[in-house]
């Protein structure tokens, strides 16, 4: 269960992201390995950080303040296209 403080910070993140990305998106923190696996992201957080660092698939990532998130819908589109096969 999340503490009330983390819910407030999540709302701030969602508000800031909505300015950068129009529409409604699901964001996953690159540091939350459990949430990434539950959402079907098969790559490790390390690999995702390397992709962001090298500029590979920049549409997957959004930075809000000091935190970096994976945009789940963009990940699903990438998987559907079969990139890397």
- Residue-wise pLDDT for 20-75, tens only, equals 556 678 889 999 999 999 999 999 999 999 999 999 999 999 988 889 999 999 99
Q: Rounded distance, CA 65 to CA 16, Å?
A: 9
* Enclosing domain of residue 31: 4-81
Top pLDDT among 55 and 11 is at: 55
Q: Which helix (H) or strand (E) holds 36?
A: helix 33-38
How many domains does the chain contain in total?
A: 1
DSSP letters, 12-27, are HHHHHHHHHS-S---E
Q: Does the model's pTM come out above 0.85?
A: no
pLDDT of residue 21: 58
């Amino acid at each position: 269960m999340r503490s009330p403080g983390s819910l407030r910070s999540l709302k701030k993140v969602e508000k800031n992201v909505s300015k950068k990305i129009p529409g409604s998106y699901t964001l996953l923190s690159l540091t939350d390995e459990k949430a990434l696996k539950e959402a079907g992201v098969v790559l490790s957080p390390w690999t995702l950080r390397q992709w962001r660092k090298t500029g590979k698939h920049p549409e997957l990532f959004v930075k809000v303040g000091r935190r970096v998130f994976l945009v789940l819908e963009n990940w699903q589109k990438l998987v559907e296209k079969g990139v890397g096969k």
